[in-house]
Amino acid sequence: MFAGFWDQNYTFLTLGFVKNTLSWAGQPGSEVADKNNVRMPKITIMTFIRLLTPFEHLMLMDMRQNYPMCFFLEMRLAGPLHRQQFAAAVLSASARHPQTQMRVGYCRGRPVWLAPDQTPTVEWVDEATAAPAVLWQPIDLRRESGVRFIVIAEPSHRWRVVLQVHHSVCDGLAAVEYFGDLWACYSAATPAAFRSPDRLARRARAPTAPLATGSHLTHESLAFARFFPEKLARPGTTTAAAHASLSNPLRTPYETFEFSSVFSLALRNAASRASVTLNDVVIAAVMQALLAWNAAAGHPSKRIRVNMPVSLRSPGTRGPACNDMGYAFLDRTSDDCTSFCRLTLSIATASRWIQANRAAEWFLDTLAVLSTRPWLLWLITRLPICLSTAVVSNLGNVTPRLRARAHPPGHADPYAQPIADGKQVPDQWNVAADLQVTGMWAVPPIRPGTRAAVGVTTYGGRLHIAVLCDTKSLGHNSTAALALMIQDALQHAAVGSSAVTQH
């Protein structure tokens, strides 16, 4: 058996292994014969790229029917979207990101990425046509690409392009760049060159990163194990309107909302004056919303934990889609959350410590140890305990990653920003002369026990929020209800963030 690897330019080097099949006569193509007509097993050549990383393996093992371990990116557009041009762009962009074209196979019991042989599927739907059965369903990496597009046509040349991605394939930032490359290909522009000098090293360990000592890992592991976060509780009632919404097959599994550019700017300015980040404010608001949810459900919580995905990329990195991230966990008691000011400041302190100590890599160190015993990794994913109350992922301002592309020499970017009232609209983007991106949302996956996921992006100066809930556990209207509570909490956070400045 041979392994595949990446070279410094991220070109795949493909080697293979030979596997004897157990099929025999009576099955066409199942055997070959030598000159003496002696039956021999057929030799099958299977090419693969590399073993799955421990993180990718975890995402694969943690998948199940009701928890498909897929995240969603949704882009809304205004203008004509040409079907054949879009399909060609998907092919071109996917060629730059080979992992979007791969399936997962197994070699000696270990999952491996097979050589690219799949094209991401594109489903075109509207209210007049029957929705395909595959809509919003889990992705089976053994049989298909881990990437699926759902293009929903709406009246007046409005579109919702949803990218569904199995988390074993890549992380959210990589998916945003893949989306950006797709639109560059759509508009016949040249996608941005890959810039990833440190990426290969980080797959094993970044040489400049401080190694997590045994005492550090032991301390953090014990702290994690001793804190028992509580799940979101199921409300006692559901609404008829929520059940009626289930009849709409085009309804996404998540809810979205956005804040105006004026409100978003005020929230960012208030956070800046308080020496905290917008992410700190959002996580504090979500924590208070989670506590309010359980209190309203009649099950007040004493302990909550938020799983915070952390990118491990170096600034300016851009490369083929993959996972380059870790997890950090923020534990708080209900008493810690009574004051929004103190809660926000404590989260800001913790976030700085996580970044300074690269603590999110400790999660990968732990996975690397567990992955040496795959049965142990599988067992942990099946434990009937709540590992996190919710996950909150912030992709930041997505515009630079979408627009990072080159244009022909001597030509300016004619589609960089739309024009309104004779002025350029800041931080927005036209993917073609007549096709404008009006908004972009993202939401991470959920798993058993972690019953809510919140995705945060900024586009066009506006804060975009997407919420995904475990409707099997919380009820059919839980996603919309929790989204309203988070929206209300963030509106109150604007006042609370101003108070932090005076704290």
CATH number for the domain that contains residue 58: 3.30.559.30
- pLDDT: which is higher, 21 or 188: 188
Torsion sign over Cα 169, 171, 177, 183: positive
Number of domains composing the chain: 2
Range of the domain at 23: 1-51
Which residue(s) pair with 396 in the sheet?
457
The answer as to whether 125 is a domain residue is no
Q: Is residue 31 situated within a structural domain? A: yes
- Which comes out higher in pLDDT, residue 206 or 255? 255
| In-domain check, residue 191 | no
Which residues, 6+ apart, have CB-to-CB distance to 96 below 8 Å?
Answer: 181, 191, 320
Q: Do 37 and 66 fall within a single domain? A: no
Q: Are residues 274 and 344 in the same domain?
A: yes
Asked whether residue 95 is domain-assigned, the answer is: no
Side chain identity, residue 28: P
Q: Are residues 265 and 310 in the same domain?
A: yes
Q: Which of 124-138, 184-198, 221-235, 397-411 has the lowest mean pLDDT?
A: 397-411
Whether residue 168 lies inside any domain: the answer is no
Q: Are residues 27 and 64 in the same domain?
A: no
Three-class DSSP labels, 183-238: HHHHCCCEECCCECCCHHHHHHCCCCCCCCCHHHHHHHHHHHHHCCCCCCCCCCCC
pTM: 0.82
11 part of a folded domain? yes
The rounded distance, in Å, linking the Cα atoms of 388 and 7 is 37
Q: Which of 464, 77, 446 is nearest to 255 (CA)?
A: 464
CA angle, 382 as apex, 377 and 385 as ends, to 5°? 115
Report whether 118 contacts 103 (CB < 8 A). yes
The answer to whether the CB of 147 falls within 8 A of the CB of 118 is no
Residue 158 counted as domain residue? no
Asked if residue 248 is part of any domain, the answer here is yes
Residue 284 φ then ψ, to 5°: -60, -45
Which class for 203: exposed (0-12), middle (13-18), buried (19 or more C-beta within 10 A)? middle
- Identify whether residues 237 and 303 lie together within a single domain: yes
pLDDT tens-digit series, residues 437-481: 999 999 999 999 999 999 999 999 999 999 999 999 999 899 999
* Residue 233 reports pLDDT greater than 60: yes
